Chains A and B, each alone.
Chain A
Amino acid sequence: MAGSKKTDRDNKVSDEVAEVSFRKEYIFDTITGMLADLLEIKKEDLRSDTMIFEELPLDSLQLYEMVVDLEAKFKIRIPDEAIEKITTIGDVVDMIHEAGK
């Protein structure tokens, strides 16, 4: 049936889109973009091993702004228990990457 073929193709396309959005480079790019906007710093200065709470002037409201925006962007849930385990930007990338699997 022509209709079902179209649906299959649509599914495939949306799977591919989902795969791209959970790629680590894309996640890293999104997070550093958000942090740069929130803190008015240069995106290029942020590394995977940047210590979020020690190196960045991020207060708890800004932290939750990032969390709420990441939840909306990737359609995932980030509980407080997960936030407590975070040290570096790379940790956040890994957490979102895992959530997307």
Chain B
Amino acid sequence: MEPLEQDFAENLLHIFDNVLLTEEMALSKGYFSDLSIAELHTLNAIGPYEARTMTETANILGITVGTLTVSVDRLVKKEYVERQRDTKDRRIVRISLTRQGKLAYRMHSKFHRVLVKRIMDPLSEEERKILARTIAEIDAFVEEQYKKYSNGEQYKKIVRDDTEV
């Protein structure tokens, strides 16, 4: 590899590791120390507003309803998520975030916003456009590889590891 490519590869991996580590550390030291990263991502998929069905949420996360049920059970017990029956069709169960869940969601998205702001602020308009386009391309490429190889297995593993603790 060319030195430039070598640097790029190392930096990319470094960013990935550090973002995850920082999120984990911020979680463990903060107000939401009983939440894991995988659980936070479940809260993100449910979202702060309309109640979602289990199937919708499982699709967003790329996991099965069975796997999601395990995660949601824990989140209900920890009072981040609540279940309610659909008023029109009692067979449908919807899940939504509690006040505590919404707070965790918003604090987590704030972390992402701060990160983006810190990266984007020193750049010119032109540089921002180039960076945004490059990041989108990297994202599309990584996503493609992920789908090709794992078929969603990776996330399932994270959730499963998490629920085994």
Binding site for B on A (CB under 8 A): 60-61, 64-65, 67-69, 71-72, 77, 80
Contact = CB atoms under 8 A, between A and B. Distances in A.
24 contacts: A60-B107, A60-B110, A61-B31, A61-B103, A61-B107, A64-B103, A64-B106, A64-B107, A64-B110, A65-B103, A67-B106, A68-B48, A68-B99, A68-B102, A68-B103, A68-B106, A69-B99, A71-B102, A72-B99, A77-B49, A80-B106, A80-B109, A80-B110, A80-B113
The residue in A68, A71, A77, A80 that gathers the most chain B C-beta atoms within 10 A of its C-beta is A68
Interface string B81-108: 0000000000000000001001100110
Grouping DSSP codes into helix (H, G, I), strand (E, B) and loop, the A interface class, with mixed when no group exceeds half, is helix
Contacts of B110: 60, 64, 80
Interface of B: 31, 48-49, 99, 102-103, 106-107, 109-110, 113
A69 B102 CA distance: 10
Given A60-B110, A64-B107, A68-B99, 19 more contacts: A60-B107, A61-B31, A61-B103, A61-B107, A64-B103, A64-B106, A65-B103, A67-B106, A68-B48, A68-B102, A68-B106, A69-B99, A71-B102, A72-B99, A77-B49, A80-B106, A80-B109, A80-B110, A80-B113
A61 B102 CA distance: 11
Contacts of A71: 102
